[in-house]
Amino acid sequence: MIKLLGAAMVVASSGIGGMTVAGRYSRRPRELKSLGYALQMLETEISYGANHMKVALEQVANRCDQAVAPLFSRAAAELSAAAGITAAAAWENSLCAYYRESALNPQDLIILRSLGSSLGISDRADQVKHLNLAMEQIKSENAKAEGEAARNVKLWNYLGFLGGLLVVLILY
């Protein structure tokens, strides 16, 4: 009975492990897509609304997908704290916290970090260029992420459970 219980636990934990990895593969394209839309909103706030960065980030945080909203809301909150902080620093702090909780990979982090360093320091046309570049890069990463997700989600889901079964068989 104990053996049976142990085997079930091995299969379940291995299955959950597999599902977690698969979940990251399926979450990343969703997050990248939401990030793309959010950056599009930020571009609109900057180019048409000419809203200050703090307000622009707040607006985006209120309207974008909840999965990426913390990135914008935290950056806006840091800027609002009036501690003499630049948008680049606020974005960097927010990005560090957000990245740990997200499904993004290091390549995505580089794109967002690079965007942060140029936030708010140039005229409208230049800001739009930087945002468009980031959106293009995210789009390209998203295409890759979708391919990876199509290949890996099922694989990891099966691999988790089957791996668990294999361990159980070997141990028996």
Partner 1 sequence: MIGADFINCKDDRYSAWAGNEILLVLPVKIRRMISALPGPILDSVEEIRIRQGKPLALGLSSGDIFVNPEGKPARQPVEAYHVTAADMENLIDLISGSSLYALEEELRTGFITLPGGHRAGITGRAVLDGGKVRTLKNLSCCNLRVSREVAGAASGLLPHIVDKKNGGIYHTILVSPPRCGKTTMLRDIIRQISSGVPGLLYPGLTVGLVDERSEIAGCYRGVPQRDVGIRTDVLDGCPKAEGMMMLLRSMGPQVIAADEIGRREDVDAMEEVLNAGVKILLTAHGSSLADLAERPVLGRLIRSKMIERYVILGRSRGAGTVENIVDGKTFRAVGVRK
Q: How far is the CB of 67 from partner 1 (least distance, A)?
A: 25
Q: Which long-range contacts (CB under 8 A, 24 or more apart) does 132-135 make?
A: 132/43, 134/39, 135/36, 135/39, 135/40, 135/43
- Under the binding rule (CB under 8 A), the answer on residue 1 touching partner 1 is no
In the region spanning residues 30 to 59, those forming contacts with partner 1, defined by CB under 8 A, are 46-47, 50-54, 56
- Under the binding rule (CB under 8 A), the answer on residue 83 touching partner 1 is yes
In the region spanning residues 105 to 164, those forming contacts with partner 1, defined by CB under 8 A, are 119-124, 126-127
What are the start-end ranges of the H helices in the chain?
2-47, 53-63, 69-80, 87-101, 106-117, 124-171
Among 35, 79, 95, 135, binds partner 1 (CB under 8 A): 79
- Under the binding rule (CB under 8 A), the answer on residue 95 touching partner 1 is no
Q: Which residue has the tokens 């990135």?
A: 71
